[in-house]
Amino acid sequence: MICIKKTGKILGMAGVGFMALKGFQAHKEHRSLSSLMIEETLDTLNLFPTIHSQEDLEQYVSHGCKPFELPEIAKLRYHFKYLKGFDDTLEYVPKEQTNKVIFYIHGGAYWFEPITLHYDMLHKLSKKSLARVVMPIYPKAPLHNAHEATAMVLSRYLHLINDEFVDPANIILMGDSAGAGMALSLLEVMRDREYPLPGRAVLLSPWLDVSTSNPEMEGIQSSDPLLSIKDLQFQGKVYADTLDTKDPLVSPIYGDLTNLPPIDVFTGTHDILYADAEKLGKMAEDKDIDLKIHTYENMNHVFMVYPIPEARGVVKEIAGLIS
């Protein structure tokens, strides 16, 4: 019994020492301890399956590619429901609301459905900004391609304007990762077609180039526990289908950035996609475009959805931008 007590005490002291060491590391890196601990476990969480070959694709289609169903947690805890008249678009309406609408395009490499963290972040943002959330669950690769996905999302956006009579100036076009890339692509498309543009856009860790060819990504890869250049290159090519992977419809960084509404980009330096966000910022600066890059040191891909202080700060900042 004495031996067991001593062992437990030693293990407890070791745990305290470990956390103290991690706390010192987090302080040195100017970040929260929780963000550091999440970063060190992201590669073990397997949030999305690894797909970087034809064999992976075939296995995913056989076993993991299922029709979307609104998760129980999204319904019961976060109070999302289907938008009236649609079985492929969700909405959340806060008890108190303004006339603002967050039209949100979720990420997931254009292959995967939204995860619980998406619902959690959007629920918090909606309550802080008093804005309604509308989120299309667009058709995914590998069964569908960029033309199909963007056409569906655009039709839901136009539904808000033409059928619900939402003032486009009150719409905030927003997305994360692949969804943020699609948001910028759609802005370029809508401008070219002379469709009504939203009041502003907010892009979280955007995937701006599905060719994933920026050489600066290689230097960040070792710091990114979530994304793989190899995976994204394969997934992006499948999503692009007959399009060149540098076509602006799938890689908006190659498109025309002029005459768009104000755009805010939130990104972290431990994200391989940070390289293109930084590139986009320089392009916008050179052309005097209303686009602002918000950079967070040592933060991971789409860190804004994690339960960490840095994410809470971003949600608060976005709520201030759109309220």
114-171 residue pLDDT tens = 999 999 999 999 999 999 999 999 999 999 999 999 999 999 999 999 999 999 999 9
**pLDDT tens per residue across span 251-279:** 999 999 999 999 999 999 999 999 999 99
- 130: which 2 tokens? 């008093």
The two most distant CA atoms of the chain are separated, in Å, by 78
For residue 9, what pLDDT band results from cuts at 50, 70 and 90? low
For residue 12, what pLDDT band results from cuts at 50, 70 and 90? low
DSSP secondary structure code for residue 195 in this structure: P
Q: What dihedral do alpha carbons 164, 156, 123, 298 form, nearest 10°?
A: -140
For residue 45, what pLDDT band results from cuts at 50, 70 and 90? confident
Please compute the mean of the pLDDT values over residues 192-200 and round it to a whole number.
98
For residue 11, what pLDDT band results from cuts at 50, 70 and 90? very low
Phi first, then psi, for residue 24 (nearest 5°) are: -65, -40
- Looking only at the bridges linking them, the beta strands covering 81-82 and 89-92 are antiparallel
Specify the pLDDT at position 284: 96
- Is the pLDDT higher at 18 or at 28? 28
Least confident of 23-27, 107-111, 218-222, 275-279: 23-27
Helices and strands per DSSP (H, E), number in the chain: 12, 8
Specify the pLDDT at position 2: 52
DSSP secondary structure code for residue 297 in this structure: E
User: Are residues 236 and 211 in contact, defined by beta-carbon separation less than 8 angstroms?
Assistant: yes
DSSP of 111-146: TS---HHHHHHHHHHHHHHT-EEEEE----TTTS-H
- List, in sequence order, every beta strand (DSSP E) within 143-184: 171-176
Express as a percent the part of the chain with pLDDT over 90.
84
